[in-house]
Amino acid sequence: MPENETKLSRPLVVGRRRDGRKCYDAAVKRELVEACLRPGVSVARLALEHGMNAELLRKWMGRYRRESILETSISSRSAFIPVVAESVACGSTGIVLEITLPHGLRAHIRNITSAEVAVLLNALSDKPCSVSTSR
């Protein structure tokens, strides 16, 4: 066996669906993707070695990267998202709020009354935090 051939711990394909598509073992998929992410590894060669399409393997790699980034960002944040009121101004027409969320989303709310601010905050508190919801 060549030195650069990647050996998986178990078979990649675990069955077939009714429509003929293959079912893959999730742990082995991850193992294969992690092998692809090593420096100097050819994705096309690995795909050929394991009897699959290189584009499918690249799709798995993209999903793996997105999930890794999401896991990292979730683990580094608390369960609550801070809302920073950059400025609050009271005038004769009502309150003006400028809010910036940590990911950069900005909201400008004009002519809102204090009662409406309370309703807004109550409505936001009922929403699940993105950290606590499953995909």
pLDDT higher for 26 or 94? 26
pLDDT for res 134: 46
Q: 9 near 20, Cβ under 8 Å? A: no
Average pLDDT over residues 8-19: 87
89 shares its domain with 63: no
48 shares its domain with 31: yes
**Widest distance between CA atoms in the chain:** 80
Q: 51 near 57, Cβ under 8 Å? A: no
In a domain, 132, yes or no: no
In a domain, 134, yes or no: no
In a domain, 51, yes or no: yes
* Last residue in a domain, options 75, 97, 113: 75
In a domain, 25, yes or no: yes
> For the chain, what is the mean pLDDT?
75
Whole domain around residue 50: which residue ranges? Answer: 13-75
Average pLDDT over residues 7-31: 88
pLDDT for res 94: 67
pLDDT for res 56: 93
User: Within 9-109, where are the H helices?
Assistant: 26-36, 43-49, 54-75
Give the model confidence (pLDDT) of 47-71 as tens digits. 999 889 999 999 999 888 888 776 6
Task: Say if residue 77's pLDDT is above 60.
Answer: no
In a domain, 5, yes or no: no
Task: Say if residue 26's pLDDT is above 80.
Answer: yes
In a domain, 135, yes or no: no
Would you state the structure tokens that stand for residue 37, as one six-digit string?
A: 């992410």
Distances (CA, A) of 69 to 55, 65, 84, 126: 21, 6, 24, 27
17 shares its domain with 59: yes
Structurally, the chain folds into a number of domains equal to 2
* Last residue in a domain, options 53, 75, 97: 75
pLDDT higher for 67 or 2? 67
71 shares its domain with 97: no
The closest alpha carbon to 83, from 127, 113, 46, belongs to 127
Give the model confidence (pLDDT) of 99-120 as tens digits. 776 666 777 777 777 788 778 7
Residues contacting residue 114 through CB under 8 Å, at least 6 positions apart: 95
56 shares its domain with 99: no
Separation CA 85–CA 108 (nearest Å): 10
Separation CA 57–CA 13 (nearest Å): 13
* Last residue in a domain, options 75, 102, 117: 75
The closest alpha carbon to 46, from 32, 34, 63, belongs to 32
